[in-house]
């Protein structure tokens, strides 16, 4: 996270959250994370959903990598960039 914030100073105003599970969505794949752009007096938010990430990862190292990828993907969404632009090491591990 610190590396991303150094590279993208505009992330200083983004709120990063961990929630247990995403809101219920019928018939779709369960998301691992989400992002919400800033509105009026609310900051932009990046959310990682803990339970889906735990279920899709086999161990601590895999979980850490998955969380990083989810955060990079959601930051990319907020900034209107590709994940590779946000973090050149995205998808290389």
Return the domain boundaries, the chain: 2-21+30-86
Give the CATH number of domain 2-21+30-86.
3.30.2010.20
> What is residue 11's predicted lDDT score, i.e. its pLDDT?
92
Dihedral (Cα; 40, 21, 1, 45), 10-degree rounding: 0
The stretches in the chain having pLDDT less than 50 are none
DSSP track, 7-73:
H-GGGGG-EEEEESSPPP-TTSPPPSEEEE--BTTB--EEEEEHHHHHHH-SSHHHHHHHHHHHHHH
**CA-CA distances (angstroms) from residue 61 to 5, 42, 52, 68, 77?**
22, 33, 16, 11, 25
> What is residue 76's predicted lDDT score, i.e. its pLDDT?
97
């Amino acid at each position: 996270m610190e590396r991303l914030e150094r590279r993208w100073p505009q992330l200083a105003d983004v709120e990063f959250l961990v929630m247990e599970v995403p809101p219920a969505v019928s018939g779709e794949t369960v998301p691992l994370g989400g992002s919400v752009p800033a509105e009026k007096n609310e900051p932009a938010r990046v959310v990682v959903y803990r339970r889906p990430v735990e279920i899709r990862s086999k161990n601590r190292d895999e979980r850490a990598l998955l969380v990083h990828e989810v955060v990079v993907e959601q930051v990319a969404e907020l900034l209107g960039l590709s994940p590779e632009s946000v973090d050149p090491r995205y998808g290389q591990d």
